[in-house]
Amino acid sequence: MRKNRIDILGTKFDNFTEKQFHKYLIDDLDVKNNRFIVTPNPEIVLSARENPKFSNIVNDADYVIPDGIGIIKGANSLGTPMHGRITGFDTLMFLIKTANKRGSKVYLLGSKPEVIEASAKRIKTEFKNVDLVGYHDGYFKDDQNIVVDIVDKKPDIVLVALGSPKQEYFINKYKELNPAIWIGVGGSFDVFSGTKKRAPKFIQKIGMEWFYRLAKEPSRIGRMMAIPKYMHLIKKERKNK
């Protein structure tokens, strides 16, 4: 949607401040624009690089925001610095808080049953002015009933936690059926619900949130191997410039 995009290994990121981004979202809600937000980290960038169909979905999104310190470091290394990281979790929180101020309709989709229940409970108790029109866990075989429910409830904001790339494929396929702010939020419901803890602020600020998550979840080591591969490709790209 925005022309000022920065190409990082084939994924084209919007380059604006978080404050500007939030203003765009409020403007979109004001006029009920249909918007698709993607929040790539290095792992998603590599996935898009290896899958042209997925790459097209990501780059065709209305907003492509840099969720990951690796994206910012990659942009700096390539001589195309960005304003800063805008995380999917922070965007989720902004949307929920904004919905609470406005009384907007929100739909939650994805995660484990106990996580989505806890997320819904937190909204109902802490953000009482949010019109939580529906929620469903990510364990479903057929999209149809879910999509019918979303269309019937007409939410203003749809938060989808099916993991990447499944959530992006889902949103891309069905977003035209209901004008809303659609965003894939990955594992954000785990943190929002209190099931998992986010890294302390000082760790976030120094760009080590990934290491904190790895220490808490050693099973993520396989996914983290994407980071050195990503940085190798960044160095290779820089040399070719």
Tell me the residue range of the domain where 45 lies. 5-240
The pLDDT assigned to 227 comes to: 84
Dihedral of alpha carbons 116, 120, 123, 126, sign: negative
In this structure, how many other beta carbons lie within 10 angstroms of the beta carbon of residue 8? 27
The pLDDT assigned to 216 comes to: 66
pLDDT, tens digit (0-9, with 9 covering 90-100), for 123-168: 999 999 999 999 999 999 999 999 999 999 999 999 999 999 999 9
Tokens of 4: 């000022």
- Average model confidence (pLDDT) for the chain? 92
pLDDT at residue 195 is higher than 60: yes
**Considering its fold, how many domains does the chain have in total?**
1
pLDDT, tens digit (0-9, with 9 covering 90-100), for 75-112: 999 999 999 999 999 999 999 999 999 999 999 999 99
Question: What is the distance between the alpha carbons of residues 21 and 155, in angstroms, rounded to a whole number?
Answer: 21
Q: DSSP string covering 50-96, please?
A: H-HHHHHHHHHSSEE---SHHHHHHHHHTT---S----HHHHHHHHH
Contacts of 148 (CB under 8 A, 6+ apart): none
Average pLDDT over residues 40-46: 96
CA-angle at 69, arms to 75 and 173, nearest 5° = 85
Cβ proximity of 130 and 100 under 8 Å = yes
The pLDDT assigned to 161 comes to: 98
The model's confidence at residue 68, banded by pLDDT at 50, 70 and 90, is: confident
User: What are the CA-CA distances from residue 154 to residues 10, 60, 89, 150 (Å)?
Assistant: 34, 23, 23, 6
The pLDDT assigned to 206 comes to: 64
pLDDT at residue 220 is higher than 60: no
